[in-house]
A and B are shown apart, each in its own frame.
Chain A
Amino acid sequence: MKYSFKTACTKQHLYKIRKFVAVHLEKTNLISKEKYQIILAIDEACANAIIHGNNCDQSRELQVELILTSDKLDIEIYDVGNYLPKEKDAHWETEDIIKDSIQNKKKGGLGLKLMYHIMDKVNYYRREVDKVNVCSLSKNLK
């Protein structure tokens, strides 16, 4: 089944996205901790899109699409921003990011790492035909 949710690009609406995902994850047999972590990965992807891609511009829209089957969850997040993570950020060791954050008193940088830890696939691309940014995540449920 396919489910879709649209909201404004504001951090204050992240809880609505989490609620939308949580409702549909109730249809799976995942345990509470697994559901929580998938919600977290999607929340991180949406927060990155809202903050880094769209500068929290509430006039812009963010769309989250879930495709749920008995053995797989696919998520696509669409927005018109321009956030594509750098290759090095995705492959930086978690321990090194944390060391750097502690030493340099940084608050960000761990969201992308969480997405990679939790999901089986993470992919970003720009759809040139309509200038839409797509974050694609997937998780095997079996």
Chain B
Amino acid sequence: MEIRQYFNEGLLTLAIEGDLDAASSIEMDNVIKAAYVGQKYHILINCKLLNYISSAGLGVFISYLEDFKAQRGSFVFFEMNEEVYGVFELLGLHNIFNIVKTETEAKNLLNT
């Protein structure tokens, strides 16, 4: 898995490529933790190249949800493929996280 980071206009974009599983979730955790410590509370997650997510990957986002919410921040996922979206759906997480189709929609959501 690779995570590319872009910071622009107060929004941090994390573009995830590959598989977010029990092995790679530690790296994801470190990136989210660093964003929090660096007070980057508005995070866009580009899922275009995210092939796979397991519960360990989901667990990273779940575990930081309250911390970011307390800072009036949030995660917004966009360009998620049907299979990955299906995992969020299985657990009802699509009702908890913001998941939109495009980057523009994601930015609009964070700017409102």
Contact residue among A95, A106, A117 (Cβ-Cβ distance under 8 Å from B59): A106
Q: How big is chain A's contact interface, by range? A: 20 to 34
At the interface, yes or no: A102 with Cβ under 8 Å from chain B?
yes
B112 to nearest A CB, angstroms?
23
CA distance A82 to B67 in the complex (A): 34
Residues on A with C-beta less than 8 A from B92 are 94-95, 98
CA distance A18 to B20 in the complex (A): 13
- Contact code string A86-124 (vs B, CB < 8 Å = 1, else 0): 000000001100100111011111110110011000000
| Total residues of chain B contacting the partner, CB 8 A | 28
At the interface, yes or no: A51 with Cβ under 8 Å from chain B?
yes
Whether A98 and B96, one on each chain, are in contact in the complex, defined by CB atoms closer than 8 angstroms, is yes
B48 to nearest A CB, angstroms?
17
Known: A102-B66, A106-B62. A47 touches B90 (CB 8 A): no
CA distance A50 to B67 in the complex (A): 30
At the interface, yes or no: A132 with Cβ under 8 Å from chain B?
no
At the interface, yes or no: B2 with Cβ under 8 Å from chain A?
no
Whether B91 and A14, one on each chain, are in contact in the complex, defined by CB atoms closer than 8 angstroms, is no
- Contact code string A8-51 (vs B, CB < 8 Å = 1, else 0): 00011011001000000000000011001100100110010011
- Contact code string B53-77 (vs A, CB < 8 Å = 1, else 0): 0111011101111110000000000
Whether A101 and B63, one on each chain, are in contact in the complex, defined by CB atoms closer than 8 angstroms, is yes
- Contact code string B80-111 (vs A, CB < 8 Å = 1, else 0): 00110011001111001000000000000000
Whether B22 and A106, one on each chain, are in contact in the complex, defined by CB atoms closer than 8 angstroms, is no
Whether B90 and A108, one on each chain, are in contact in the complex, defined by CB atoms closer than 8 angstroms, is no
CA distance A63 to B51 in the complex (A): 25
